[in-house]
């Protein structure tokens, strides 16, 4: 559940995990990429990086410029005490690079996709720089109080699977390897929009949990990933606009399909604008009411804990 001023969602719903919503572009100025937010266009980068000259603007991440993120994590960690996990939040190198190369949001990704073929060395240099900067940012968040980190490769699903294997996966794996060396006890979650064609490849990054969006059948996702890795999700956020009995049935179905171990119950994406608050409350009520013995009567479990 995203945190808000005054900790309103935390106080209202008391989830098992809280995350400070921070735009994935937040760290960009700290390593040399300035951007503006415009009402219609959204994020706009006035000097997109498309040449060797553009790379000269980059520098190692200056974490002092992100002190407000660290302060927010410390405040949230203190507020929730030992009652919830505090989650950190970063974008994956490919996803961040789409903004830096395209100059903002895009529907087609043609500039960066063509760069894979026309200027591969340039793009790899950019992605490597982003991987190091994001890894440092992750460690900073952990040292500021985050118990767990979620990596969002929001636009990784825009790549064909073989392209994702070449242009996104290695840099996510680089982050995971760096973080595991410095913060070996910190679990890492990886989420990609439209990840149905990437699940097995995502597993190879070394993350601890894979977030499934609502377009993946949870039973199919669990079958493909196996029981040795955590899964997160994946109730369709639109279900929170449905009659509450339908929402109840869907929550129960998702939990049953995920199996008796290593499942973090969540939506398959963020809460949609206009979602009724009573539906969010109902989501948590149903999650807390689930009875393990009833749901998994015929399944033995080494660790029979369901996390909402």
Q: Give pLDDT tens digits for 85-130.
A: 999 999 999 999 999 999 999 999 999 999 999 999 999 999 999 9
Half-sphere exposure of 55 (CA within 13 A, CB side): 13
CATH of residue 173's domain is: 3.20.20.210
Residue position matching structure tokens 């993946």: 216
Mean pLDDT computed over 135-153 = 97
Angle in degrees, CA 29, 33, 37, rounded to 5? 75
**Within the chain, how many helices (H) and strands (E) appear?**
13, 10
pLDDT at position 9 is 85
- Take residue 11 and report the two structure tokens written for it: 């106080």
147 assigned to some structural domain:
yes
- Take residue 30 and report the two structure tokens written for it: 């700290």
* Better-predicted residue by pLDDT, 76 or 292: 76
- Percentage with pLDDT > 90 across the chain: 88
The answer, yes or no, to whether residue 304 has pLDDT greater than 80, is no
225 assigned to some structural domain:
no
The answer, yes or no, to whether residue 7 has pLDDT greater than 70, is no
> Model-level pTM greater than 0.85?
yes
pLDDT in tens, 68-93: 999 999 999 999 999 999 999 999 99
pLDDT in tens, 161-196: 999 999 999 999 999 999 999 999 999 999 999 999
Collapsing DSSP states into helix, strand and coil, what is residue 88?
strand
Q: Helices 110-118 and 120-143, interaxial angle, to 10°? A: 120
For residues 231 and 242, what is the distance between their CA atoms, to the nearest angstrom?
Answer: 24
Domain that holds residue 47: 6-211
207 assigned to some structural domain:
yes
The answer, yes or no, to whether residue 6 has pLDDT greater than 90, is no
45 assigned to some structural domain:
yes
176 assigned to some structural domain:
yes
58 assigned to some structural domain:
yes
The answer, yes or no, to whether residue 4 has pLDDT greater than 60, is no
State the pairing for strand pair 42-44/36-38: antiparallel
306 assigned to some structural domain:
no
Number of domains in the chain: 1
Mean pLDDT for the chain?
A: 93
286 assigned to some structural domain:
no
């Amino acid at each position: 559940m995203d945190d808000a001023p005054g900790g309103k969602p935390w106080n209202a719903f008391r989830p098992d995990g809280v995350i400070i919503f921070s735009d994935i572009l937040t760290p960009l100025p700290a390593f040399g990429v300035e951007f503006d937010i415009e009402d219609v266009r959204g994020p706009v980068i006035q000097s997109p990086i498309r040449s060797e000259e553009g790379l000269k603007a980059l520098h190692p991440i200056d974490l002092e410029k992100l002190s407000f993120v660290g302060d927010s994590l410390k405040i949230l960690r203190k507020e929730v005490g030992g009652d919830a996990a505090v989650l950190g939040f970063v974008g994956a190198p490919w996803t961040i690079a789409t903004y830096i190369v395209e100059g903002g949001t895009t529907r087609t990704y043609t500039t960066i996709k063509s760069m894979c073929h026309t200027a591969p060395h340039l793009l790899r240099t950019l992605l490597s720089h982003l991987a190091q900067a994001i890894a440092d940012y992750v460690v900073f968040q952990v040292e500021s109080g985050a118990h767990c980190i979620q990596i969002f490769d929001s636009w990784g699903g825009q790549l064909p699977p073989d392209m994702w294997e070449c242009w996104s996966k290695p840099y996510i794996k680089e982050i995971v390897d760096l973080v595991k060396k410095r913060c070996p006890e910190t679990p890492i979650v990886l989420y990609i929009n439209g990840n149905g064609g990437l699940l097995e490849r995502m597993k190879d990054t070394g993350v601890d949990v894979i977030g499934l969006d609502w377009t993946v059948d949870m039973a199919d996702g669990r079958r493909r990933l196996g029981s040795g890795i955590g899964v997160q999700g994946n109730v369709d956020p639109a279900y929170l606009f449905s009659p509450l009995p339908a929402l109840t049935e869907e929550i129960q179905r998702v939990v049953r399909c995920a199996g008796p171990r290593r499942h973090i119950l969540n939506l398959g994406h963020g809460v949609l604008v206009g979602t009724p608050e009573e539906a969010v409350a109902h989501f948590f009520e149903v999650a807390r009411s689930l009875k393990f013995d009833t749901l998994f009567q015929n399944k033995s479990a080494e660790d029979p804990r369901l996390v909402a």
